[in-house]
């Protein structure tokens, strides 16, 4: 994708800065490949971001590529444990000792020969998250410039985070630089002069975020059986990542507990992976408990990926089943106002288009996480001008200015305050409109790809020995 595509949405002056960074990047990286390695091709924020950054990097003339490590259930059980621990949560409570390290290294080492046949000495390798950190020493010895990018973390350290860092520390002296989404996530043992703080970004032109006329939103939601709109004349077509056209399919077997959302309903929605730390169960319980104080036409919609579809997340089915149990335990009148939707992942572009339509249809988007690395599920509706109510933690706090570009919840376990904040927006159209438009401007200012790509070029400049350009945000 050409960087020119971004020009129309950038703040004045940003276009020239981006063009300058692109030129510098091309010079620095001539004859080298920038490899990104993570552990899933779809599902979750890292895959979402890589799609866009790779496309723009390649459009700018940089040979950026993306590899996905394979794992077995034992490997992903260990890495999911690390993921939960780094978020300050005990997760499945299992160990992180020598046996787990052996499993972790065995799986990664099994892929090293293939990796080193692709990566040339002098290339840059960006390893994403704990799943790939163990590759760092081997790839450094192979002669690559290794950078580790950690997308997760916790604002406070405790025994859980300490355990995860003890596991990862042996691998983390190898990278020449480590990137964190927030400075609070940086562990003490990483040398400060190797630390880079680079928050994520979204792509305004991806299938998930591109503008969609209301009629197309309705057509997509009707055809999939999510909302039975009548008299719809919008298009079912969408643009795929590769620029080709796709058409929304009917989904007669959709897993939609609670049935379709009535067309007249105003929707409070959370879209997340089925991960305990996103607390879909808490959103559901809060809505059910407070239902009498929520206007009658408001329905709750919880949306996550089909649990088969995210290869590095072994807990998703259990989380979804828990939510379905909570739903079943409610009286009929409450159940009718709460809907749990698993979105098919067999076509990731269609999935993205449907998330786009859902985020535009929602009256309020919530993200009541108990921990959050950054939270693209907050950035995405903000860019679409939706009012967002979300927990005051992790990267969410960097995105939302409370009362200005969204509403923050101080204690994410306080369900009463949570629903009270949601209702504040639901009963005040002016507030909703103000929060939505300020949210979009906040994203334009801080969380679009131009800032992100410029920071990468600044990092590569330092890694490859040049003088860093002044790439300030």
Q: Cβ closer to ligand UDP: 282 or 304?
A: 304
CA-to-CA distance for 373 and 206, rounded, in angstroms? 21
Q: Give the shortest CB-340-to-ligand UDP separation in angstroms.
A: 12
Q: Give the shortest CB-376-to-ligand UDP separation in angstroms.
A: 4
Q: Cβ closer to ligand UDP: 100 or 380?
A: 380
Q: Cβ closer to ligand UDP: 199 or 387?
A: 199
Whether 260 contacts 224, CB under 8 Å: no
Return the DSSP state at 154.
-
Q: Give the shortest CB-462-to-ligand UDP separation in angstroms.
A: 26
56-62 CB contacts, 8 Å cutoff, 24+ apart: 56/1, 56/3, 56/6, 56/203, 56/449, 56/453, 57/25, 57/453, 58/1, 59/1, 59/2, 59/3, 59/5, 60/3, 60/22, 60/25, 60/26, 60/453, 61/22, 61/26, 62/25, 62/26, 62/29, 62/34
Cβ neighbour number for residue 97 with a 10 Å cutoff:
11
Q: Give the shortest CB-273-to-ligand UDP separation in angstroms.
A: 4
Q: Give the shortest CB-237-to-ligand UDP separation in angstroms.
A: 19
Going by C-alpha positions, the residue among 91, 174, 88 that lies closest to residue 127 is 174
Q: Give the shortest CB-146-to-ligand UDP separation in angstroms.
A: 22
Both structure tokens of 351:
């999935």
Query: Nearest-CB residue to ligand UDP?
Result: 45
Q: Cβ closer to ligand UDP: 343 or 423?
A: 343
Binding site for ligand UDP (CB under 6 A): 44-45, 48, 208, 271-273, 303-305, 343, 351-352, 355, 373-377, 380
CA distances from 73 to 13, 111, 334, 345 (A): 48, 16, 37, 20
Q: Cβ closer to ligand UDP: 22 or 133?
A: 133
**Upper half-sphere CA count for residue 337 (Cβ side, 13 Å):** 24
CA-to-CA distance for 424 and 445, rounded, in angstroms? 26
Q: Give the shortest CB-12-to-ligand UDP separation in angstroms.
A: 28
**Cβ-proximal residues to 213 (8 Å cutoff; 6+ apart), any chain:** 234
Q: Cβ closer to ligand UDP: 146 or 340?
A: 340
What's the helix, strand, coil split of the chain in %, to 5? 45, 15, 40
Q: Give the shortest CB-371-to-ligand UDP separation in angstroms.
A: 9
Q: Cβ closer to ligand UDP: 50 or 471?
A: 50
Q: Cβ closer to ligand UDP: 303 or 338?
A: 303
CA-to-CA distance for 457 and 63, rounded, in angstroms? 13
């Amino acid at each position: 994708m050409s960087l020119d595509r971004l020009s129309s949405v950038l703040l004045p002056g940003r276009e020239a800065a981006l063009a300058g960074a692109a030129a510098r990047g091309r010079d620095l990286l001539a004859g080298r490949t920038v490899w990104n390695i993570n552990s899933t091709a779809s599902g979750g924020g890292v895959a979402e971001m890589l799609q866009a950054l790779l496309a723009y990097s390649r459009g700018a003339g940089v040979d950026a590529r993306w590899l996905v490590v394979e794992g077995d259930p034992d490997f992903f059980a260990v890495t999911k444990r690390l993921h939960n621990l780094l978020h300050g949560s005990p997760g499945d409570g299992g160990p992180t000792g020598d046996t787990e390290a052996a499993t972790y290294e065995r799986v990664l080492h099994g892929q090293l020969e293939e990796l080193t046949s692709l990566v040339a000495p002098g290339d840059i390798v960006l390893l994403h998250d704990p799943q790939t950190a163990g590759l760092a020493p081997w790839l450094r010895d192979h002669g690559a410039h290794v950078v580790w990018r950690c997308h997760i973390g916790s604002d406070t350290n405790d025994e859980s985070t300490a355990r995860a860092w003890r596991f990862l520390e042996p691998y983390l002296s190898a990278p020449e630089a480590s990137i964190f989404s927030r400075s609070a996530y940086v562990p003490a043992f990483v040398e400060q002069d190797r630390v880079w703080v680079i928050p994520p970004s979204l792509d305004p032109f991806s299938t998930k975020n591109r503008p969609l006329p209301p009629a197309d939103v309705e057509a997509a939601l009707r055809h999939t059986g999510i909302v039975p709109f009548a008299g719809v004349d919008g298009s079912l077509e969408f643009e795929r990542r590769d620029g080709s056209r796709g058409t929304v399919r009917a989904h007669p077997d959709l897993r939609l507990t609670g049935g379709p959302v009535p067309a007249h309903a105003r929707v409070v929605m959370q879209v997340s992976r089925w991960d305990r730390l996103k607390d879909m169960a808490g959103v559901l319980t809060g809505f059910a408990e407070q239902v009498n104080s929520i206007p009658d036409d408001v329905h709750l919609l919880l949306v996550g990926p089909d649990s088969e579809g995210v290869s590095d997340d072994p807990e998703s089915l259990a989380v979804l089943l828990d939510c379905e149990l909570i739903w079943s335990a409610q009286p009929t009148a409450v159940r009718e106002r709460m809907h749990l939707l698993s979105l098919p992942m067999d076509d990731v572009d269609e999935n993205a288009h449907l998330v786009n339509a859902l985020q535009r249809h929602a009256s309020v988007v919530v993200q009541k996480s108990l921990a959050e690395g950054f939270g693209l599920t907050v950035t995405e509706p903000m860019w679409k001008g939706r009012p967002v109510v979300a927990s005051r933690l992790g990267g969410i706090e960097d995105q939302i200015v409370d009362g200005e570009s969204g509403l923050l919840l101080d204690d994410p376990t306080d369900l009463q305050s949570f629903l009270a904040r949601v209702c504040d927006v639901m009963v005040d159209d002016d507030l909703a409109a103000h929060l939505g438009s300020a949210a979009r401007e906040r994203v334009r200012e801080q969380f679009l790809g131009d800032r992100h790509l410029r920071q990468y070029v600044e990092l590569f400049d330092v890694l490859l020995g040049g003088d860093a350009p002044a790439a300030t945000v």
